[in-house]
Amino acid sequence: MPGPNCAHDWLQVLTSSLQESVLSLVYVQRPYWKCFQYQGSFSLGEVRGEDDPRVFTPSLSFRGHTGARPLRFPTRDPLPPRPPETLKKIADKLLCLRQKEVVRSPPGSRLCLVYDQGMEQHHSLTEGEHPERPERIRRVWEMLGRAGVVQRSTVLQSRVAQREEVALVHTQDHVDFMFGLEGLGGGGAADPSGELQVVEEVMAGGARAGVAVIRPPGHHAEPDRPHGFCFYNNVAVAARHATHNLGCQRVLIVDWDVHHGNGIQHAFEDDPRVLYMSLHRYDHGMFFPSSEDANFDRVGTGAGQGYTINIPWNKDGEMRLASVLISVALALEPAVVRENPPLRDTGPV
């Protein structure tokens, strides 16, 4: 968080809509987190009219059932375009740093990776440009190789997830249905075991951190059904595996995909061991998955109240990197400092 002598130019990227999202989040989380009570409070008798800048009252807005939702949901190019000369300067600077700096790896492995080419077998037979296609993970893996990350890391061998592991999150009917697709190539393609291996390696002390380059994605999958190109909820299964089988007491999941992770939220909304935070485009319920559960007022249920944190964006163009970083700084840092979870999942799912 910026100190008193820090320049406040970064505040200029906080649009009024984004300010409203963050303040609404703080408003509904105040009863559950002392770290969100830093603004203080005062009685209504002290309010200096309707324009008193100290007063903020959130308002709920959901248009998903009434408005005409778009047929396509743009998810690419959230950053403003940069001129070619600027991009060249950045590339030259990175090249210079790579040539000057010598990366020294400590004894043992600081990072473990998992990737399986078998995941590329899952693809659409009719849509070559389907948004969820093998190139998504292939290009990530190739980029990690060019950067030398693969060579400096421990690459884990994949395995098949067991039924009982998947059933930690999903219903038996859903598990039976998905495993029944193995003869068609469906069961293996949706296998969430890559995420499990990374969690096991980190929890066992074999690595300090891990990256699972896997697909299909998982955060939309509900306990009883697939949803949004997601068959198994891989992150939810991995988190539940950590708490149930590996002795992990607290897990943090940061979901910064453009869409709300409805499946992860529903899996842990009553579980205080898992702190789930989602930063996503919402458009007052018009953006996929178009659910009221993605709004800032959904904070969890029962013992899990306060452990679901939603930061919805309602204005096109807000999902720029600076906005994401500021939202995390304003909302996530106090919660993480208090909880200090030993296991953190911060990848897009």
pLDDT at 220: 95
Task: Name the pLDDT band for 20 (thresholds 50, 70, 90).
Answer: confident
User: Regarding predicted confidence, which is higher, 35 or 273?
Assistant: 273
* Share of the chain residues as helix, strand and coil, in percent rounded to the nearest 5: 40, 10, 50
Average pLDDT over residues 5-30: 68
Reply yes or no on whether the pLDDT at 335 is more than 80: no
In degrees rounded to 5, what are phi and psi of residue 313? -105, 135
pLDDT for position 30: 84
* DSSP β-ladder status, 308-313 and 154-156: unpaired
Residue with tokens 């200029």: 12
Helix axis angle, 193-203 to 234-245, nearest 10°: 40
CATH of span 109-121+132-248: 3.40.800.20
- Give pTM, 2 decimals: 0.74
Cα separation, 102 vs 50, in Å, equals: 59
- pLDDT band at 291; cut points 50, 70, 90: very high
User: What is the structure's pLDDT at 330?
Assistant: 58
* Residue 242, pLDDT score: 95
> What pLDDT is attached to residue 89?
86
DSSP state of 243: H
Residue 349 — very low, low, confident or very high, per pLDDT cuts 50/70/90?
Answer: very low
Range of weakest confidence among 169-178, 211-220, 287-296, 325-334: 325-334
Of the candidate ranges 104-118, 136-150, 223-237, 291-305, the one whose mean pLDDT is the lowest: 104-118
Residue 198 in 3-state DSSP?
A: helix
- Please compute the mean of the pLDDT values over residues 190-200 and round it to a whole number: 80
Rounded distance between C-alpha atoms, residue 145 and residue 113, angstroms? 11
Please tell me the predicted confidence (pLDDT) of residue 7: 43
Band the pLDDT of 59: cuts 50, 70, 90.
Answer: confident
The pLDDT confidence band at residue 157, using thresholds 50, 70 and 90, is confident
Residue 140 has a pLDDT of 93
Please report the pLDDT score of residue 28 as a whole number.
87
pLDDT for 295 beyond 70: yes
Interatomic CA distance for residues 133 and 246, integer angstroms: 32
Burial 75-114 (b: 16+ CB within 10 A, else e): eeebeeeeeeeeeeeeeeeeeeeeeeeeeeeeeebebbbb
Mean pLDDT to the nearest integer, 258-269: 96
Task: Report the distance separating Cα 261 and Cα 195, nearest Å.
Answer: 17
Mean pLDDT of 231-249: 94
Mean pLDDT estimate for the chain: 79
- Whether the pLDDT of residue 2 is over 70: the answer is no
Confirm if 220 and 229 have CB atoms less than 8 A apart: yes
Distance CA(140)–CA(37), nearest Å, equals: 40
Tell me whether strands 111-114 and 154-156 are parallel, antiparallel or unpaired.
parallel
> Could you give the C-alpha distances from 217 to 77, 163, 276, 288, 330, in angstroms and in order?
20, 19, 17, 15, 28
Asked if pLDDT for residue 100 goes beyond 90, the answer is no
12: confidence class by pLDDT, cuts 50, 70, 90: low
Comparing CA positions, the residue from 244, 240, 245 lying closest to residue 276 is 240
- Residues involved in catalysis: 220
For 165-169, 291-295, 307-311, 333-337, which range has the lowest pLDDT when averaged over its residues? 333-337
User: What are the residue ranges spanned by the domains of the chain?
Assistant: 109-121+132-248, 249-349
Q: Cβ(160)–Cβ(191) under 8 Å?
A: yes
DSSP state of 4: T
**Quick check: 67 pLDDT over 80?**
no
How many of the other CB atoms lie within 10 Å of CB of 148? 11
pLDDT at 203 over 70: yes
Q: Could you give the dihedral angle defined by the CA atoms of residues 141, 333, 288 and 261, in that order, rounded to the nearest 10 degrees?
A: 70
Look at residue 101 and tell me whether its pLDDT is greater than 70: no
Contact between 215 and 119 (Cβ < 8 Å): yes
> Does pLDDT of 66 surpass 90?
no
* Least trusted range by pLDDT, from 52-56, 93-97, 283-287, 311-315: 52-56
